[in-house]
Structure 1
Amino acid sequence: MDHLITFWPIFKRLIVYLIPFKKKFIIALFLLLSGSIAEVLGPVLISYFINNILSKHQLHLKIIAFIITIYILLQIISVFLNYFQSIFFNKIAVKVINKIRQDVMDAALKQPISQFDSQPIGQMISKVTNDTEAVKEIYDTVVPTLFKSVTLIFIILFTMFTLEWRMAIIALCILPIIVTIMFIYQKYSTPHLRSVRSYLADINNKFNETINGMNVIQQFRQQKRFENSIKNSSEQHYIARMKILKLEGILLRPLLSLVSALVLCNFILLFSYFQIGAFEVGLLYVFITYLGRLNEPLISITIQQSLLQKSIVAGERIFSLIDSPRQKYGNDKSTLNSGKITINNVSFKYKNCTKNTLKNINMTINSNSFVSFVGATGSGKSTLANLLMGYYPIKYGTIYLDDKPIDSISHCILRKHILMVQQDPIILSDTVFANITLGREASEEQVWKILDTVHLSSLVESMPKGIYSILGEEGNNLSSGQKQLLSMARILIIPPKILILDEATANIDSETEKLIQQALLSIRNKSTLVVIAHRLSTILESDAIVVLKNGKIVEIGRHEALLRNKSVYYKMYKCQSNKN
């Protein structure tokens, strides 16, 4: 019963998405029902023709013409009604899937950053694309097909019982067999379907990883290893898919066709057992025709069972993302009046890590000051920057911004007053203007002024459409330095109370570094600057340099004072000076 426990809540939740479209859905069901009735009435006319005209050799041309006309009209009406119901169902399906995709993307955008530390991006993409497409089949294929099939079954059985109840009882025996087959199929196919969706997501993730890391793969000649990795995942997907196909091959059409053949044999036996005249030839024709038509909806129901299971498994994966914990923020929407930062006894460790990355960090950063954090790789610099951004919940200790606990500040205030320039800035495949403004209100004149400030105006002027020129995917037509300057331009649209630079100058040349320092001067008196630095030459003018080692503050002071101490910072500075 476990498969039913997981099946029904997900199915009902997917059906809830139809509520905004219930009027169109009812119209589509009515069209489908009318088309099914028109389709079923055809054999009744043929039966009348066989029993009352053909068998009695009373060939009245007007009656024959009338029967043919009505029969053709019924078929035409059935075709048109089925066409329009299909259009209605597909329109509803597309709108529902758009809503589900919006919900999935909304959930993805509000995921805690920690989720992206452990969840492969390809799997999340698979949920937004492949899984939503699988769910779409519920609305445009499964539901209408099931409704039509069930309607046809009831109409056919009703007509059978009206014409001859004994033969109808024999036909009715097929139903419990079909229900049993459906439950058996559902029980054994669900685990394999979950495996198929999981392997497909794994394939997407590996393709994503391969494409993004193509330079490294080719440089170190790892093509064969990645090819084998994708090949292995594809083989696992193939094996799981074949198991489902084998189940379908055994439990669906062949078995159902066998059951229908047995019922047909019983019809023939019953027809031959009774005396001549007990059953008319037309009646046998109707029952044989209806049996064939009864067989198809029953097979359709069982086949839809397979599609339904795929959709439910996909829905299960989608709702696991939608229901996952969102990034939590506070409710305080009052603006920050200053860029003061107070770090009070903060310790932090990442999920699935045994050791703390930060240990008992205590310090106060005054508003509009310039503070730098330095230390070896793994000392906790970037972790501290992420905590200041509010990306991770703080379990031990508290960070205060403008004397407010960071966990009490709302998302909109945090994102408005605290900004970060990262080591590898994200460049959108959009215009220069859109990349700088990011949806915020700004005039062309203001953008050009900012481009002058970050020394990018000459570059943008050389582009075909100026600030409306499209940048390549991930800014592949820009150098690392130009990307950093562009990310600085974003900051200058609305200078924040707190600006964090996380190793922003690590991958750029000294000339671009000087340009960034000049850009920082324009907001020095407006923002608190927190610089995570690898290159010490960029932080010599800091009001305070904080030296981290193994997650602890081991030194703090100005550049000259730290050099006089001849401790950790002194060794770092001398090491870099000797290299230069």
Structure 2
Amino acid sequence: MNRLIEFWPILKRLIKYAIPYKKKIILSFFLLISGATAEVLGPILISYFINNILSQHKFYLQVILIIVITFIILQILSVFFNYFQSIYFNKISVGIINKLRHDVMNSAIKQPIYQFDSQPIGQIISKVTNDTEAIKELYDTVAPTLFRSVTLIVIILCAMFTLEWHMAIIAMFIIPLVIIIMSIYQYYSTPLLRKVRYYLANINNKFNETINGMNVIQQFRQQNRFKKSIQNSSQLHYLARMKILKLDGFLLRPLLSLISALVLCSFILSFSCLKHEVFEVGILYAFITYLGRLNEPLISITIQQSILQQAIVAGERIFSLIDSQKQAYGKHKKRLKTGKINIKNLSFSYLEPQKNILDNINIDIPSKSFVAFVGHTGSGKSTLANLLMGYYPIKNGEIYLDNKPIKSISHCILRESILMVQQDPIILADTFLSNIALGKEISEDKIWETLKIVNLDSLVKSMPRGLYSILGEEGNTLSVGQKQLLSIARILVKNPKILILDEATANIDSGTEQLIQKTLTLIRKNTTLIIIAHRLSTIIDADVIVVLDKGKIVECGNHKTLLQKNGYYSKMYNFQLFKH
């Protein structure tokens, strides 16, 4: 009972998804009841035939034909009704799961970036795929089976009491025993089912990690280690599943079959000990038939309990994602007029409040200026870029864009006004056109003009279908430099107020770097440009170079001024110059 109360809120939320299909569900239930009724009426006809025709040797051909034809019609109707109710329930379940998957995916897309930093991607994928599939069975298997089973039990018991109430009371003893078995099963199966869902998600996560890192795995000959890791996860999943199967094997069909056998023995003893006038042979036949049919829905109910448990556990995981806290954005929806940035007393930490990644950062960046952030690995450069993008909520200090606090700016204006080119740009397995437009209505002329600026026009023209050529998964048909140029082409068609390049030239050749530098010179006419760079030769022309060390600004000025100071920047620059 406690577990039922615990699960009720989740079950209630899952049931709410069925409300739009109310009329179809009513029709499906009508078909289901009709099929169950037709199925139960068959043994009554046979009982009548045994008692009134066979036992009395009154073989009237017309009556026998009517009984046979009626019996066949009832069986056909039962098949007909059960077929269509199954079709309807499956249509309903697919529609509900489509809506649920939409909600889960919509929630996953709206998750703050820091959620993806702390949560394995495979876990999220498992929620969208495996968990929603488990919930699908709630609608297309559990609900119709439970309703059909309960309907059959009620109709069978009514038929039993109509035929002979003494034996019906004996049959009734099976129901409380089944309820006890179901309660015991629920108690032991729930924690096991939670483990199964967790282990399955863990397997998905390991497969995702292995496939994405295949180059590194093969390069460092780590195949056996990753194979063992997946085998261990699979073994844990297997052991948990085996425990559930053992539980099913003991508490479900064998135990219920034993109880049914005991009830059947009670029928036979009652028939043998009492006067034959009390029980007729036809009634005994009907009761034996009904007992077999009563046994099946009781077993079905208990088996469905297992699937119901899995659906509820999957629902817990899905609703934990849907209900997870979303990042709050402001309500300001007016476009930014300038690319001016002011950072005031900004401090930031990820998980440990006492360990700041950024410590009391103060910078004023005029609109349309070129600013570079430099520093050793771990100095806080990328963290600062992510905060400018609005990926993380700011708790200490403030960032102003165009004199407006970043927390007051709406998500759509933020994403429209400030864009980032990353070191490893994401390329979709789609057309060149789709990768540049990204869902926006942009003319082909504008895209060709942009491709010419970034020197990709000749590459696109050489492809069989031009702009409509499909790029491989993650853009594997393009070189690293071409991916970077493509990601910059995305920026040029959007014309943002602020552009951030996070190590965008770290992995490309000098020729491609020069192309990017020319493109950035054009961008600077209308956009505030912020570059995070390890290769200091790319930022010599920056208006301001901000040097970070351990989350603090240690130097600030242009290239010439910083070299004269002979400090952090000078040492970094001379080291790179000497190395090359």
**TM superposition score category, shorter chain reference:** over 0.9
Q: How does 1:306-325 map to 2 (within 5 A)?
A: 306-325=306-325
Give the corresponding residue for 1:305.
305
Q: How does 1:528-539 map to 2 (within 5 A)?
A: 528-539=528-539
Give the corresponding residue for 2:327.
327
Change (3 A) 1:322 1:491: same
TM-score, normalised to structure 1, is: 0.99
Shift of 1:4: 2.7
- The yes-or-no answer on 1:114 pairing with 2:114 is yes
The CA distance in 2 between the partners of 1:419 and 1:514, in whole Å, is 21
Give the corresponding residue for 2:149.
149
SS for the counterpart of 1:529 is strand
The CA distance in 1 between the partners of 2:230 and 2:486, in whole Å, is 37
The CA distance in 1 between the partners of 2:553 and 2:134, in whole Å, is 52
Shift of 1:5: 3.6
Give the corresponding residue for 1:336.
336
Could you tell me the percent identity over the aligned residues? 70
Q: How does 1:261-300 map to 2 (within 5 A)?
A: 261-300=261-300
When structure 1 is superposed on structure 2, of 422-431 and 3-12 the one drifting more is 3-12
Q: How does 1:413-562 map to 2 (within 5 A)?
A: 413-562=413-562
Amino acid at match of 1:98: N
Give the corresponding residue for 2:397.
397
Give the corresponding residue for 2:367.
367
Deviations 1:145-169 (A, max 9, x none): 0000000000000111111111111
Amino acid at match of 2:174: I
Residues 11 and 312 of structure 1 are in contact (CA less than 8 Å); yes or no, is this contact kept in structure 2? yes
The CA distance in 1 between the partners of 2:271 and 2:255, in whole Å, is 25
Deviations 1:73-119 (A, max 9, x none): 11101101111111101011111111111011011001111111110
Give the corresponding residue for 1:208.
208
SS for the counterpart of 1:363 is strand
The CA distance in 1 between the partners of 2:369 and 2:5, in whole Å, is 58
Amino acid at match of 1:531: I
Shift of 1:269: 1.1
The CA distance in 1 between the partners of 2:453 and 2:64, in whole Å, is 89
Amino acid at match of 2:267: F
Amino acid at match of 2:16: V
Change (3 A) 1:2 1:114: farther
Residues 3 and 190 of structure 1 are in contact (CA less than 8 Å); yes or no, is this contact kept in structure 2? no
Give the corresponding residue for 1:37.
37
The CA distance in 2 between the partners of 1:52 and 1:228, in whole Å, is 70
Shift of 1:423: 0.5
Give the corresponding residue for 2:20.
20
Give the corresponding residue for 1:566.
566
Give the corresponding residue for 2:54.
54
When structure 1 is superposed on structure 2, of 179-188 and 271-280 the one drifting more is 271-280
Change (3 A) 1:497 1:251: same
SS for the counterpart of 2:236 is helix
Deviations 1:281-313 (A, max 9, x none): 000011100000000000000000011111111
The CA distance in 1 between the partners of 2:6 and 2:463, in whole Å, is 56
Amino acid at match of 1:156: I
- The yes-or-no answer on 1:188 pairing with 2:223 is no
Shift of 1:353: 6.7
**What 5-or-longer segments of structure 1 have no aligned partner?**
none
Deviations 1:165-208 (A, max 9, x none): 11111111111110111111011000000001101111110011
Deviations 1:244-290 (A, max 9, x none): 11111111000000100111111111111211221110000111000
Amino acid at match of 1:536: L
Amino acid at match of 1:562: L
**What 5-or-longer segments of structure 2 have no aligned partner?**
none
The CA distance in 1 between the partners of 2:524 and 2:373, in whole Å, is 17
Amino acid at match of 2:428: L
Shift of 1:30: 0.8
Shift of 1:333: 0.9
Amino acid at match of 2:113: I
Shift of 1:511: 0.9
Cα RMSD (Å): 0.9
Give the corresponding residue for 2:222.
222
The CA distance in 2 between the partners of 1:100 and 1:463, in whole Å, is 40
Q: How does 1:124-163 map to 2 (within 5 A)?
A: 124-163=124-163
SS for the counterpart of 1:530 is strand
SS for the counterpart of 1:28 is helix
SS for the counterpart of 1:470 is coil
Give the corresponding residue for 1:254.
254
SS for the counterpart of 1:343 is strand
The CA distance in 2 between the partners of 1:64 and 1:515, in whole Å, is 94
The CA distance in 1 between the partners of 2:351 and 2:241, in whole Å, is 34
The CA distance in 2 between the partners of 1:161 and 1:276, in whole Å, is 18
Deviations 1:202-259 (A, max 9, x none): 1110011111111111111101100100011111111111111111111100000010
Deviations 1:468-487 (A, max 9, x none): 00000000010100000000
Give the corresponding residue for 2:71.
71
SS for the counterpart of 1:347 is strand
Amino acid at match of 2:238: Y
The CA distance in 2 between the partners of 1:558 and 1:2, in whole Å, is 68
The CA distance in 2 between the partners of 1:452 and 1:439, in whole Å, is 21
The CA distance in 2 between the partners of 1:399 and 1:2, in whole Å, is 50
The CA distance in 2 between the partners of 1:504 and 1:5, in whole Å, is 54
The CA distance in 2 between the partners of 1:503 and 1:2, in whole Å, is 55
Amino acid at match of 2:202: D
Shift of 1:352: 4.5
The CA distance in 1 between the partners of 2:5 and 2:334, in whole Å, is 46
- Number of residue pairs aligned between Structure 1 and Structure 2: 580
Residues 427 and 475 of structure 1 are in contact (CA less than 8 Å); yes or no, is this contact kept in structure 2? yes
The CA distance in 1 between the partners of 2:6 and 2:544, in whole Å, is 57
Change (3 A) 1:392 1:511: same
The CA distance in 1 between the partners of 2:328 and 2:109, in whole Å, is 12
Shift of 1:523: 1.8
The CA distance in 1 between the partners of 2:227 and 2:513, in whole Å, is 40
Give the corresponding residue for 2:95.
95
The CA distance in 2 between the partners of 1:123 and 1:151, in whole Å, is 39
Amino acid at match of 1:262: L
SS for the counterpart of 1:522 is helix
SS for the counterpart of 2:523 is coil
Shift of 1:6: 2.9
Give the corresponding residue for 2:577.
577
When structure 1 is superposed on structure 2, of 377-386 and 442-451 the one drifting more is 442-451
Shift of 1:3: 2.7
The CA distance in 2 between the partners of 1:378 and 1:2, in whole Å, is 50
The CA distance in 1 between the partners of 2:354 and 2:298, in whole Å, is 57
The CA distance in 1 between the partners of 2:217 and 2:564, in whole Å, is 46
SS for the counterpart of 1:247 is helix
The CA distance in 2 between the partners of 1:57 and 1:354, in whole Å, is 96
Shift of 1:2: 5.0
